[in-house]
Structures are given as C-alpha cells and as structure tokens.
Amino acid sequence: MRSDRRIDFSRKPVLNGGLVTLRPVTLADVPLLHAALADVELSVLAGAIRTRAEGEQQRWTVAELEEIYARWGASHDRIVWVIVDNSSGHVVGESVLNRLDLHNRSCEFRIWMSEVRDKGLGTEATRLTMSHAFDDQGLNRVELEVYDFNPRARHVYDKIGFVHEGRRRQALLFEGQWVDAHVMAILASDWYEKLRPDLPSAAVTITRPGRCLRADGVPAFPDPSVTGAGSACGHVLTAYLLRVLRRRWVARAGDGVG
Ligand SMILES: CC(C)(COP(=O)(O)OP(=O)(O)OC[C@H]1O[C@@H](n2cnc3c(N)ncnc32)[C@H](O)[C@@H]1OP(=O)(O)O)[C@@H](O)C(=O)NCCC(=O)NCCS
C-alpha cells in the first residue's frame, strides 16, 4: 500500500471492508453477473437502453459475458472487482477503474449493484476503490459520469468527495425525454482532505501523490480506519521533518544576515 508505487493496473488486489469485499473478477463469477445484469433498473441508470421494455431482454449471453470479462480481467488499463456482500457471501455487483491515463495519472470509475441497495454497501465499495486508486496506485484524478435521474448515486459520490465539474446537457434520450449527465471527479487532494474533515478547505498540499501536508506544515495523516489509507504516513512524516529542519536552517541563516 505504498503511495509512490508505479501505477500498475495489472496489480488487482482483493480489497477488504466490513460490509463488502472487492475481489478481482474471474470467469466463475460470470453466471452470477449475468443473472444480476437482468435487473432492468441497472440498464436504465447506466443509460444502456432507450426504453424500459428494451431492458426486459437480456443484452448478453453468458458466453458473450465470459469473453468480455476474460478480456477485462487480463487488461492493463482496467481493474474489475466483483462486490461481495460479506453478510451473505453473494456477488452483488461490480466496481471498476478503467480508461487508465498513465501520463495524467487519472482514470474513470463506475459501479453497480443489484439485490442490495441503500444498506451502505455501495458507499463502502466506492471508498475501498478510491483508497486503492489514491493510496495504493498513487493516481491523481478519478472521474465519472452520472445521469440526472440517479440522485442516489450522485449523493454517494458527493459523500465520498467527488466534486461536480459540469453538466452534459441532453446527453441521453430515454423514453422520449432528454436527460442531462453530470461529470464528477475526485482528486488525490480532495480524497485526503475528506479524510481530515477538521481541516479547512484547501488546507492540504499534496507534495507528491499520496503525500500530504497541511498549509501550516502539519502532516495530514490519512485516517488509518480507511483500508489502505495509512500507507502515506511514513512519507508524510519524513516530508514534515525535512520541512521543520529546513525552517530551522532558514532561521539560522537569517540570524547571520546584517
Ligand atoms: C449507486 C449505488 C452503487 C449506491 O450503492 P448503495 O449501497 O445503494 O448506496 P448506500 O446505501 O451506500 O448509500 C445510499 C445513499 O443514498 C441516499 N439516497 C437513497 N436514495 C436517494 C435519492 N433518491 N436521492 C438522494 N439520496 C438518496 C441514501 O440515503 C444514502 O445516503 P446516506 O448514507 O447519506 O443516508 C447503488 O445504489 C447502485 O448500484 N445503483 C444502481 C446502479 C447505479 O446507479 N450505478 C451508478 C451509475 S453512475
């Protein structure tokens, strides 16, 4: 869980939470995912269909999904986790980081769950995924799009620290109605600031991806209760000590002047 690791999406670790476990997808998961994807609401909220009636037919066969997930599972610019409900052991959805842009240290995020909603699982799955993106991979930006008719998902993203960046007007035509899409993104600085709600806005400086200092030089330690977030502490402490030594050195040098 080192923040200064090279970004590498071929590393696909298991992410453990209290409510959910995120496990890299395998072909054995495909029949379960196929059944879960029959949930029409998912297709509506993902903007994948033009009418509800269209969603009544399965869009993929198991064989087609096997081909897709085999490709995604081996991909170097995408990590696909299945979301396992810890209380039942059931696969209830997926969480995905994709479209990795190595140069700009960014990627996209999407998530869906069927069977269990509004029980906190989606929030935790999103947090675990963001912790991996920032604390483990050292990314700087994760972005997503969410349709206007999905206030629940927008609320969850907002809670995690995603910032609303813009609106793509009339991005989707669903059942004869235009629907806007919202672009939301979270930066490493948003993520670490969110972990320290006691800090005033914009008080955190990221010295390197995952290494953060408050404006007053005090290290903004990530909350170790969030999986993977304790990793930057050593680096933050080192940066802090270097900063203190530098201040003393500057003060002494100043003493000698004039
Ligand atoms: C979006 C999704 C991942 C969220 O997961 P979840 O487990 O249902 O969400 P949680 O239970 O963690 O949190 C839901 C939050 O939304 C709130 N909420 C529920 N319905 C809401 C609504 N209509 N408007 C605003 N907020 C709403 C809940 O009160 C809760 O907030 P709180 O924790 O502050 O009380 C899940 O609902 C899902 O997969 N939905 C279908 C697919 C989808 O929309 N994917 C996203 C596409 S961009």
Instruction: Convert 37-48 to b/e letters by CB count within 10 Å (16 or more is b).
Output: bebeebbbbebe
Of the candidates 152, 159, 178, 156, the residue with the CA atom closest to the CA atom of residue 167: 178
Instruction: Convert 17-27 to b/e letters by CB count within 10 Å (16 or more is b).
Output: bebbbbbbbee
- Cα(54)–Cα(37) distance, integer angstroms: 13
Beta bridge partners of 96: 80, 110
Q: Do residues 188 and 139 make contact, with C-beta atoms less than 8 angstroms apart?
A: yes
Where does 15-253 sit in CATH, by number? Answer: 3.40.630.30
Query: Parallel, antiparallel, or unpaired for β 79-85 and 91-101?
Result: antiparallel
Region 214-230 average pLDDT: 38
Instruction: Spell out the domain ranges in the chain.
Output: 15-253
The neighbour count for residue 16, using CB atoms within 10 Å, is: 13
164 or 4: which leads in pLDDT? 164
Average pLDDT over the chain, rounded to whole? 81
How confident is the model over 89-104, as pLDDT tens digits? Answer: 999 999 999 999 999 9
Å from CA of 44 to ligand 1 middle: 15
> Which pLDDT belongs to residue 57?
84
Region 5-24 average pLDDT: 95
Q: Which alpha helices (DSSP H) does the chain contain, by range? A: 30-36, 40-45, 52-55, 62-73, 121-131, 151-160, 188-195, 233-255
> Which pLDDT belongs to residue 194?
83
For the Cβ of 92 lying below 6 angstroms from any atom of ligand 1, the answer is no
> Which pLDDT belongs to residue 62?
96
- Output the pTM of the full model: 0.81
Of the candidates 73, 96, 255, the residue with the CA atom closest to the CA atom of residue 247: 255
- Cα(102)–Cα(124) distance, integer angstroms: 26
> Which pLDDT belongs to residue 197?
58
> Which pLDDT belongs to residue 184?
98
218 or 200: which leads in pLDDT? 200
Which ligand 1 atom is at minimum distance from the Cα of 46?
Answer: 47
> Which pLDDT belongs to residue 115?
81
Region 217-221 average pLDDT: 39
Å from CA of 121 to ligand 1 middle: 9
For the Cβ of 112 lying below 6 angstroms from any atom of ligand 1, the answer is yes
74 or 3: which leads in pLDDT? 74
Ligand 1: which of 128, 156, 158, 164 to mutate, most ligand atoms within 8 Å of CB?
Answer: 156
For the Cβ of 159 lying below 6 angstroms from any atom of ligand 1, the answer is yes
Residue whose CA lies nearest to ligand 1 atom number 43: 112
258 or 183: which leads in pLDDT? 183
